[in-house]
Amino acid sequence: MTAGTAGTAGTAGTAARPDTAGAAGDEGREMHALVERLYPLCRSITGDGVRRTLDIVGESIPLRVREVPTGTPVLDWTVPKEWNIRDAYVKDASGRRVVDFAASNLHVVGYSVPVSATMTLAELRPHLHTLPGQPGLVPYRTSYYAETWGFCLAENTLAALPEGRYEVRIDATLADGHLTYGEHVVPGRTSEEVLVSCHVCHPSLANDNLAGIAVATRLARRLAGTDPHYTYRFLFAPGTIGAITWLALNRERAGLIRHGLVLACAGDRGHLTYKRSRRGDAAVDRAAAHVLRASGRPHEIVDFSPYGYDERQFCSPGFDLPVGCLTRTPYAGYPEYHTSADDPGFVTPEAMTDTLEACWEITRVLEGDRRHLNLSPYGEPQLGRRGLYGSLGGRSDTKQAQMAMLWVLNLSDGDHGLLDVAERSGLPFHVVADAARDLRAAGLLKELG
């Protein structure tokens, strides 16, 4: 199986990619290659698909993989049985596989129990899931916590099935085992953490969430060796139960999380969407809003709601962590969502690069957002004497950099950080941060704790 083979009507093919990959550069190409490589694996909330995914991510960044046994109590939940699948099909009377797991892992309802039977189409039908409104696409369905089995197929395929008897087989195991997740840590100068989390439980769906995995992996590589202020923790875990398991096993550590981002739907052609944390005004909320606004990107910022990705868990009231969610088009906001059309052709190197860049800029703001004290707060200090200011007065075209210095000096009373300065001044954060650096160098500014 190659990337794109599950692609059907309604999505642009992968053919378009080479033309635009140049603009995205090496990082974009590498991220897309990772998506294509991970795409065929049959991931679920447990099982070898997750393990193989973490193995491949681990080739780019070192991962600490954790195996949590079935039955372990995790917050209000229990780690479920482990599910693995080898093969599955529906054969017609002639022995032809009319629905075939080998063609696409979406064809089997996730966590289906084993079945091996022959039945009429009428008996089979309650186990068949289609999208009547998108008759060419295979839907994605799971049933983690209610033991059942089923197949997903295109409505067109179903419509063409004649009455008669069908051989139905799902060669899967649902048995005690483990839940698997991986962590990568970029150590910082402090134990305060930035969490970057993405789910690794969806099978052949590219935007949801192989693109998120790819962007997170690449972001970790960018941070390597930058000696950051914060410790960056990258969490690759199955959705919901994975985040819950991590939180259950890391209650103390969760208290160290100062900022966090959940990454999902990171590769489609839509614009970026940032969903605020439950707090609504956390530093990461303000940093993301600033980055998106200051960059001039079309974007959307939406309020928190307790539905979506694992921000649901991180923002549950007991934890209430300052974790937002960055996506391009949000879940269920595109027709390809949770269908076979969310294939590698649906995500682009350019889009993933853009998402990566936004993440990077957000980390730049978080890293650089310090409070300072103006050491010469009475009147303006004489910048010209220190070579910080054009010496020929009377001109009205004061430069952005000089405005940034004046703003940093004016607001550095101990109550405002550099992000405050950027927001109030309307200047890009990096200009403000550069001004603060120059003012520190000139002895006019002191960084606070």
Q: Which two tokens stand for residue 203?
A: 């099978």
Number of Cβ within a 10 Å radius of residue 35: 28
Comparison of 14 and 134: residue with beta carbon closer to a copy of itself: 134
| Residue whose CB is less far from a copy of itself, 77 or 360 | 77
Q: Applying CB under 8 A, does 115 fall inside the site for a copy of itself?
A: no
Using CB under 8 A, pick the residue from 188, 260, 368, 381 that binds a copy of itself: 381
- When asked if residue 70 is in the footprint of a copy of itself (CB under 8 A), the reply is no
The residue type of 23 is: A
For residue 364, what is the DSSP state? H
Bridge partners for 371 per DSSP? 417
Minimal distance in Å, beta carbon 394 to a copy of itself? 5
Please tell me whether residue 184 adopts helix, strand or coil conformation: strand
Dist CA 354 CA 268 (whole Å): 10
Phi-psi region of 25 (alpha: psi -120 to 50; beta: other; left: phi over 0): left
Measured CA distances, 252 to 64, 195, 361 (Å): 18, 14, 28
Q: Does 203 bind a copy of itself (CB under 8 A)?
A: no
Rg (CA), the chain: 25
* Residue 194 binding a copy of itself, by CB under 8 A: no
Residues 34-53 that bind a copy of itself (CB under 8 A): none
The answer to whether residue 313 forms part of the interface with a copy of itself (CB under 8 A) is yes
Please identify, among the stretches 58-66, 294-302, 313-321, 350-358, the one whose residues bind a copy of itself according to the rule CB under 8 A: 313-321
Minimum gap (Å) between residue 426 Cβ and a copy of itself: 9
Residue 25: CB minimum distance to a copy of itself, A: 33
- Tell me whether residue 235 or residue 366 sits nearer to a copy of itself (CB atom): 235
Angle CA 28–30–31, to nearest 5: 65
CA distance 291 to 35: 26
Options 15, 122, 160, 392; binder of a copy of itself; rule CB under 8 A = 392
Closest CA to 50 of 182, 219, 143: 182
The residues that touch a copy of itself, with contacts defined as CB under 8 A, are: 75-77, 110, 139-146, 240, 243-244, 247-248, 251, 278, 303, 305-307, 312-313, 315-320, 331-332, 337-338, 374, 376-382, 384-385, 391-396, 398, 403, 406-407, 409-413, 424-425
